[in-house]
Amino acid sequence: MNIFNGKDEGGLILALLKELKRRRVRSHTSIITIEEISVEHFRKGRMATENYSKVHKFAKIEGITKEVALTTAKLEAALLDSAHTLNDEQKAKENKRRRWDLFHVATALSLQCSALYCSDDDFVSRQERLGIKGMSFLKPVPENFPLDLQPSIVVPIDQAAPGAKLK
């Protein structure tokens, strides 16, 4: 979602998506993604944007099936049962996004995905609370960081300013 809201600092999410495509890894997302990224584009005074085709360029968009809905309910029950381990601030933050996030988890589980990428710091820690072992919750960072091929200015040592630190 961050890639569509201009929050992909350093282009790491885009680099990850390109890396996954290069490795021929199939990427999927829940239809919930379309709702999440479209809200900002439908705010008052903003131009409406058709986001489905943009997302579809990166991932196959999966609908909500009966299996996904029931799995989401099961996951939410597990989080509610373990909520006693959280302080009030953590509970409030979790309640705000919990159901939407769990639809993504349930979608990934139903597709038997090996990894679920999420840029939300708290999301990665939920894997243990949910008891999910067959799928990794990962930060969206490519394994091979993109090379910075921008030309750099090289100053010969004999032309460096006096007292300049040389690397």
pLDDT per residue of the chain (167 residues) written in tens, 0 to 9: 566 666 677 778 888 888 888 889 999 999 998 888 888 778 777 777 788 888 888 899 999 999 999 999 999 998 888 877 777 777 777 666 778 889 999 999 999 999 998 887 777 778 888 889 999 999 888 887 655 555 555 545 555 455 544 44
Yes or no: say if 98 and 79 are a contact pair by the CB < 8 Å rule. yes
Neighbour count for residue 90 (Cβ, 10 Å):
13
* Residue 51: partners with Cβ closer than 8 Å, 6 or more residues away: 4, 34, 37, 38, 41
What is d(CA 133, CA 115) in angstroms, rounded to the nearest whole number? Answer: 11
**Residue 29 in tokens:** 């997302």
**Residue 54 in tokens:** 């943009």
Yes or no: say if 135 and 106 are a contact pair by the CB < 8 Å rule. no
Neighbour count for residue 44 (Cβ, 10 Å):
4
Beta strands in the chain (DSSP E): 28-30, 60-62, 115-117, 136-138
What is d(CA 9, CA 15) in angstroms, rounded to the nearest whole number? Answer: 11
pTM: 0.74
Yes or no: say if 72 and 103 are a contact pair by the CB < 8 Å rule. yes
